[in-house]
Amino acid sequence: MSGLKGCYVMVTLVMIFIALSVTGGGTLGNGRGWGQDAIYPVEVKRIPRAAFNALLDPQTLIPVVGAIVFTVNGYDKKVSNWATQHHPIFGSEQNARNASDLLSIPLPIETVVTALAAPSGDDPKNWVYSKAKGVGVEGAAELVTAGMTSLIKDATGRKRPDGGGKSFPSGHASGAFSSATLANRNLDSIPLSEEVRIPLKVGNILLASSVAWARVEGQKHYPSDVLAGAGLGNFLSAFIHDAFLGLPEEKRFGVVISPLKKGGAVAELYFGF
């Protein structure tokens, strides 16, 4: 498990780097602090927009489509059997199960660290209040993800590859991708160069993907279980974050049709609205 220890060292260094690079002071581009406008007052129009954008987010759509594909022609069981026979990444079933537990730890920690590092103003009292509200929203996103995962598990009752119950969807995958989504959105609010921000965001997705694959290789879930969990975790966390944190809205998906003077129109497609 030396590779896992190396992963922890890397994540720890990244967190220290973020903490040293930014202090959480200052403000966002709109002059407000991160978390300052969270929870109340809620802009009602943001809620359907946030749900729409979260649903069409590629990190929601791609896993969900993948889960559907894997249920066709027995691919789910074929890939599961291959993974548990060859153990291509973790070497053994037990190593994979241990890895899925250990690799799940850094992401929620990073979510909190990045939330604290996001600019929330320079006044100590307002800083604490803003952070409490923002972290509360993100904590609620994690809890809702866990709750919905449990409800779906009870409703589907799918057996695990090892014979256990409640296989669909994967709780490890939904939790890991929930944290990865929140941490990545927090990174968007931190004043970092793109040379730093992009590798960190990609690393979070890869770490969450490692958690998901470890559940397949550990014979605890089928591929469709972890893919569905990944999509669920991203959708719920992206929706709750964008709807209730009150941050400046980014364009994520939509279509604008502009009329031309001589008739006709020009359509512009973008991600977000």
C-alpha to C-alpha distance for 28 and 10, rounded to whole angstroms: 28
> Is 54:239 a contact under the CB 8 Å cutoff?
yes
- Quick: pLDDT tens for 47-89: 999 999 999 999 999 999 999 999 887 899 999 999 999 999 9
DSSP E strand stretches across the chain: 253-259, 265-271
C-alpha to C-alpha distance for 97 and 211, rounded to whole angstroms: 9
pLDDT band at 271 (very low <50, low <70, confident <90, very high): very low
> Which residue range is the domain that position 83 belongs to?
2-271
C-alpha to C-alpha distance for 111 and 181, rounded to whole angstroms: 9
Q: What is the CATH number of the domain that holds 223?
A: 1.20.144
Q: Which of 15-19, 29-33, 67-71 has the highest mean pLDDT?
A: 67-71
Q: Is 20 exposed, middle or buried (0-12, 13-18, 19+ CB in 10 A)?
A: exposed
- Quick: pLDDT tens for 242-266: 999 988 876 554 444 445 555 554 4
Number of folded domains in the chain?
1
